[in-house]
Amino acid sequence: MDVRPPRPDEWGAVRALRLRALADAPDAFGSSLAREAAQSEEEWRSFWLERPGTAALIAADGDDGHLVGMAFGWPTRDDPTTAGLFGMWVEPAMRRHGVGAALVGGIVDWARASGFPRIELGVTTSNAGAVAFYEGLGFTDTGDRDPLRAGSPLSTQRMTMALR
């Protein structure tokens, strides 16, 4: 497994990976498949891959280079001194093989190297497996709950990890 930042020429493959994630787990993300599928190349690249002060990581299968996971990091909207972990997803067949932990670890390393004192994420409250995964990596529940997205009956719980 190769976990690394995507190359600029891989933007289309990373976009396809993100769209697979949104199709596979629509209740895990604050965005939707329809919304992101409609974005232009320029919109997509500027939001996910070319934002200053952010990190993007992909996981590629060592055998054929097939992309199987992704994670992104950037300052949170609520507090720019806190790093956020966003868009984390691993292809179902590759779960429980260390791919997710490697992706999260890479974003945590970026946040720490960037000087953030903490990192946080939002996870759908009904996704017990994901909550347990993040707890196993050292994240703790802040007690804060937010709607998954406008109009959704689902909520997310904020989880955080101190980096210093």
**Domains of the chain, start order:** 2-162 (3.40.630.30)
Predicted local confidence at residue 135, as pLDDT:
98
Residue bearing tokens 């989880």: 159
53 Cβ contact partners less than 8 Å away, ≥ 6 residues apart: 74, 75, 114
Q: How far is CA 94 from the centre of its chain?
A: 16
Place of tokens 């953030």: 116
- Give the residue from 114, 101, 127 showing the smallest Cα distance to 53: 114
Minimum mean pLDDT range among 31-40, 42-51, 80-89, 152-161: 42-51
Burial 61-94 (b: 16+ CB within 10 A, else e): beeeeebbbbbbbbbbeeeeebbbbbbbbbbeeb
Q: If pLDDT is split at 50, 70 and 90, which confidence band does 73 have?
A: very high
Rounded Cα distance, 70 and 114, in Å: 20
| Residue 17: per-residue pLDDT | 96
Each residue of 75-103: pLDDT tens digit? 998 898 999 999 999 999 999 999 999 99
Confidence of residue 1 (pLDDT cuts 50, 70, 90): confident
pLDDT, position 37: 96
Q: Rounded to the nearest 5°, which phi and psi values hold at 11?
A: -55, -40
**Signed CA dihedral, 2, 114, 32, 142: sign only:** positive
C-alpha span between 11 and 6 (Å, rounded): 7
Burial category of 21 from C-beta neighbours within 10 Å (exposed 0-12, middle 13-18, buried 19 and up)? buried
State the greatest distance between any 2 C-alpha atoms of the chain, in Å, as a whole number: 42
Share of the chain above pLDDT 90, in %: 85
